[in-house]
Amino acid sequence: MPDYLAVDLGAESGRVLRGALRDDRLTVTEVHRFVNRPVALPEGLHWDALALFADLSEGIAAAVAGGGEPVAGIGIDAWGNDFGLLDRAGHLIGNPFHYRDRRTVASTAVVAARVGAAALYRATGTPPLPINTASQLVAMEGSAQLDIAERLAMLPDLFGYWLTGELATEQTIASTSQLLDVTTRTWAGGVIDRLGIPRRLFAGGVVPAGTRVGPLLGHPQVPLWTVAGHDTAAAVAAVPATGPGFGYISSGTWSLVGLELAAPVLTDEARLAGFSNEAGVDGTTRFLRNGTGLWLLQRCRAAWADTSYADLVAAAAAVPGFRSLVDPDDPAFVAPPDMPAQLAAACRAAGEPVPVGRAALVRCVLDSLACKHRWTLERAEALAGRRADVVHVVGGGAANPLLCQLTADLTGRPVLAGPVEATAVGNLLVQARADGRLGTLEDLRAVVARSLPPRRFEPAGGAVIDDAYARFLARLDAGDRI
């Protein structure tokens, strides 16, 4: 029985993992891990695409040469929105920008104004967000780079192109652009024209997850498959749900909180509440809101340098909860130079007690995230007219027991936590299915539930929780309070 390789790129690190599917159980082993270090240049914040490619290539070479079962495929997933531009010779033009680069602060409103906010949402299912590919391309208007660009490659597709020489644009990652038609899942030509973005960039069309792209240049016996190229789509495909009535939180740098639906919700209410209708595998819609997640904790840990997540979370569990609450989506948290100081400043400005010490700050972050998880889940339910009986937490946050317990307490639903490696698991299982070894999405999820059973957290409930949530609501922008 052959194995599969997943390249899983996250904002903090990248990994190459090997997946073995035997007797309907998946075993995942990490082969190679590397840091993802964004680079700030005077003209903007970039991803180091060449370093990422060198690292992932090294991981693939080690996995293919490493003995054991032959490798029958490889798939790449990454965060959304970001892209490289290729010139007419197929060469990368400049360094891909990071979605946190500030150049889109003004262009996001321009995008909405050119198409009309409501029309744009009905066409693409995506609300105006500065991270969107559309906002980035409009910010590049008139640049020499855009002038000579012939094709746009979303990041996982760019790496796939470098591995195989073939450029295929995968549907789930394309749906993070705000340029994909939410109904037909093909490029939204009308929107692209209204935005003044050159149509030629999108000439190649879009293919679904599970398409064979071609053999790897360095390893001709190994094919590249499109998987769910968007990490969140891969993670949601790997939710070990046993029935339809579930909510999910893909919890990492971001908290993606939402529901899986058969059709998009394109109402003005959904748009104004900031919900996206992202493409999932098999025609599903990921109706979710893109919220700030463990980024707050990641930047605190980076500032403190000498500590581990496990120690910080254990310390936070030992201090009193719900003392200080902030809105994780406060724009001041997007890219502050000093996150602990920014959190303290936000508490001070809101009249909340300023957390003293690391444990209290981490507690403030996790309490606030759990409150925002509840707000987002309830909004999703109200907008979609569907209730979730359980909440699946997948991704790095599933390894954070305090965050999972708080999320159960706040949402009042059982939380089923795991797998932590959901993105890689989704990536691997989409390949195995494309290779003819699995059937429906439910079959994929049953494999996950069998192989990596989730940990259950029961909600506690009580007056403390209700009071905390009422205080949290007062911290939100007036338009967001419900």
CA-closest candidate to residue 336, choices 309, 367, 296, 370: 296
Each residue 93-132 as x (binds ligand LFR by CB under 6 A) or -, in order, gives: ------x-------------------------------x-
Asked if 152 and 202 touch (Cβ cutoff 8 Å), the reply is yes
Total interface residues for ligand LFR by CB under 6 A: 13
Q: Is 231 in the site for ligand LFR (CB under 6 A)?
A: yes
The only residue of 14, 19, 73, 80 in contact with ligand LFR, by rule CB under 6 A: 80
Q: Compute the least distance from the CB of residue 174 to ligand LFR, in Å.
A: 13
156 vs 223, beta carbon nearer ligand LFR:
156
What is the residue whose two structure tokens read 């910010």? 139
CA-closest candidate to residue 304, choices 340, 333, 256, 332: 340
What would the two tokens of residue 470 be? 């009422």
The only residue of 79, 121, 248, 472 in contact with ligand LFR, by rule CB under 6 A: 79
What would the two tokens of residue 338 be? 């000093």
CA distance 252 to 254: 5
Q: Is 254 in the site for ligand LFR (CB under 6 A)?
A: yes
Asked if 190 and 139 touch (Cβ cutoff 8 Å), the reply is no
- Residues facing 152 on adjacent strands: 85
> Within a 10 A sphere around the Cβ of 93, how many other Cβ atoms?
17
The only residue of 252, 291, 340, 419 in contact with ligand LFR, by rule CB under 6 A: 252
CA distance 165 to 154: 15
The only residue of 6, 16, 55, 81 in contact with ligand LFR, by rule CB under 6 A: 81
Binding to ligand LFR, residues 283-342 (CB under 6 A): 290
Q: Which stretch binds ligand LFR (CB under 6 A): 21-29, 35-43, 224-232, 400-408?
A: 224-232
Mind telling me the catalytic residues?
A: 231
Q: What angle, 0 to 180 degrees and rounded to 10, lies between the N-to-C axes of helices 463-475 and 358-384?
A: 80
Q: Is 256 in the site for ligand LFR (CB under 6 A)?
A: yes
3-state DSSP assignment of residue 367: helix
Q: Which stretch binds ligand LFR (CB under 6 A): 76-84, 90-98, 205-213, 403-411?
A: 76-84
What is the residue whose two structure tokens read 């409009």? 138
Q: Which stretch binds ligand LFR (CB under 6 A): 75-83, 192-200, 303-311, 411-419?
A: 75-83
Q: Compute the least distance from the CB of residue 274 to ligand LFR, in Å.
A: 12
Torsion-angle region of 176 (φ positive above 0: left; ψ -120 to 50: alpha; else: beta)? alpha
| Interacting residue ranges for ligand LFR, rule: CB under 6 A | 79-81, 99, 131, 230-232, 252-254, 256, 290
